[in-house]
Amino acid sequence: MPSQTRTATVIVNDDSIGVIDWANPGNAAAEDGSLSTVPGPDGDYSHYLKGTVCGFTIPEGNTVIDVTLRIKWRDAYVPPASTAASLRLVKNGVISGDDAGDAGSMDKMLPDSLTWQSFQPDDPLWSLSLGASDINSNGFGYVIAIFGIDPSCHPEIDCVELTVTHSSPTVDRTQTGRARLQKPSDRTVSARTRVTAKDDRTQAARSRLRKTFDRTQPASSRLIAKDDRAQTGRGRLRKSSDQAQLARTRVTAKNDRAQIGRGRLRKSSDQPQSARTRIGGLSDRTQPARTRLTAKDEKAQSARSRLRKLSDRTQSGKTWINLKSNESQGGRARLKKSSNRMQLAQARISTVGNPTDKSVGGVSCVIKISASLPRAENRTTYDVSPLRITLDDSPVRSIVDIS
C-alpha cells in the first residue's frame, strides 16, 4: 500500500503537561545532529514537544489505514533514567486519541545512543476518525512528554517523523455497467437506426470508390510508364551533365594555356618595341639606297617595254609559221588521197593484166587509168607485160584500148 512520511515544520514547547521546558524544540525538524533537550525532570514530567504543519498530500477519497510515530532520540545519562511518558496525536490542532507512551513501563526507556524507535497504540488509527483531509490539514501533528526517574537524566531528540499508510478506493464498476446494460433506452435504438443508415451510405460510397479506383488503374499504369521514362531521361541528363563537366574542364585547361600564351605575347610585345627603335634608325640610312633602286627600276621598266615589242614580233612570226604548217598539212592530206587511188589502180591492174585470163591474140593492150601520182616520180607510162599502162590527168574512158 502507498504511504507518506513527513516531519513537522512548526515545533514548539507546549506547557499543557509537566513542569520543565524543552530547549531548542525546532532542532527536532530534521535529522542533522542538532538536538532538542529537556534537562533532569526528577520524578516529574516534561512539557509537551508539539509538532504540526507536516505537509501531507493524501489523495481525497483514499482510506487512511494507520499512523506511526517515529523518534530518533537518547538519554545522555548512563545508565538511562528517563521514559516515554506520553505520545499522542494532534487532530485539527487539538491533542487527542490514544496514548502510545507509559511513564511506569521499563519498555519505554530511552536508549543510551541516538536510535530510531517506532510507536503506535493498539488501534493503528489511535482511536480517531482520520480522513485524507484531516491528515493533510496544518492542524495534524504529534506531542511528546518525558518522565525523569533520576535527577541526572538528560533526554535528547534529533528528529521526529509521522508515517501515514493509505489505500485507494475500489469501485464495483462491473455491477454498475450491468445495471445500465439491463435498461436499454429508446435513444440506443434510434442510434442503431442512424448507424444502419450511415452504414448504407458508407456501402454506396465504397462502391463509388471502387469504380473510381478501377478507372484510376490505367492512369496509374500510365503514370508508372511516364515515371520510367522520366528515370531514363534523368539518366541521360546525368550523362550529359558529366560530359558538360568534362567539356568545362577542357575549356578551363585551354583558358589556362591561353593565359600562359598571353603572358608570353606580352613579353614578346615588349621585345619588338626595342626592335622597332633599331629599325627606325636603319630606315633613315636606307633612304639614299631607295633612291638608287628607283632609278634602276625605271631602267628595268624601259627594258621590259623593248622585250614586249620583241615578243609581239615573235608572236606574229609564230602565227605565219602556223599558217605554213597548216598548208603543209593540207598537201600531206592530198598526197595520202593520191596514194590511196594508186593502190586501188594497182589492184585492178594485177587482176586484169593476167595473160592467161585476158589474152587477145597476142595483141598488146593499153589501159588508161586516171590517177594522181607524186610529181617527183616523173613517170606517166608503166609496162606491165603484156600490157602498157599510160597515166594522165583525164578520167578513164575505157578499160582496154586495142591499137
**The predicted structure's pLDDT at residue 342:** 64
For residues 55 and 217, give the distance between their C-alpha atoms in angstroms, rounded to a whole number.
70
List per-residue pLDDT tens for the chain, 403 residues long.
899 999 999 999 999 999 999 999 999 999 999 999 998 777 889 999 999 999 999 999 999 999 999 999 999 988 888 999 999 999 999 999 999 998 777 788 999 999 999 999 999 999 999 999 999 999 999 999 999 888 888 999 999 999 999 998 875 556 555 656 555 556 666 677 787 777 788 888 887 877 776 776 776 677 777 777 878 878 787 887 888 788 888 878 888 888 887 878 777 666 656 656 665 665 666 677 677 877 777 887 887 888 788 777 878 777 766 777 777 787 677 767 766 666 665 655 554 444 433 333 444 444 444 444 444 444 455 554 455 555 554 444 434 443 3
**The predicted structure's pLDDT at residue 140:** 97
**The predicted structure's pLDDT at residue 32:** 94
What secondary structure does DSSP assign to 22-91, as a single string? PBSGGGGGSSSS--EE----BTSBBPEEEEE-----PPTTPEEEEEEEEEEEEESSSS--EEEEEEEEEE
> Among 68, 49, 27, 50, which residue's Cα sits nearest to residue 162?
68
Retrieve residue 401's grid coordinates.
584500148
CA distances from 170 to 63, 165, 174, 238, 275 (A): 10, 16, 12, 72, 118
In 188-336, at which residue ranges do the beta strands (DSSP E only) sit? none
- Determine the residue type at 161: E
**The predicted structure's pLDDT at residue 60:** 93
Domain boundaries, the chain: 3-169, 364-403
**The predicted structure's pLDDT at residue 173:** 59
Backbone phi, psi, residue 90, to 5°: -120, 120
Answer CATH for 3-169 from 2.60.120, 3.30.420, 3.30.70, 1.25.10: 2.60.120
**The predicted structure's pLDDT at residue 398:** 37
**The predicted structure's pLDDT at residue 373:** 41
> Do 40 and 151 meet the contact criterion of CB atoms below 8 Å apart?
yes
**The predicted structure's pLDDT at residue 273:** 66
**The predicted structure's pLDDT at residue 107:** 81
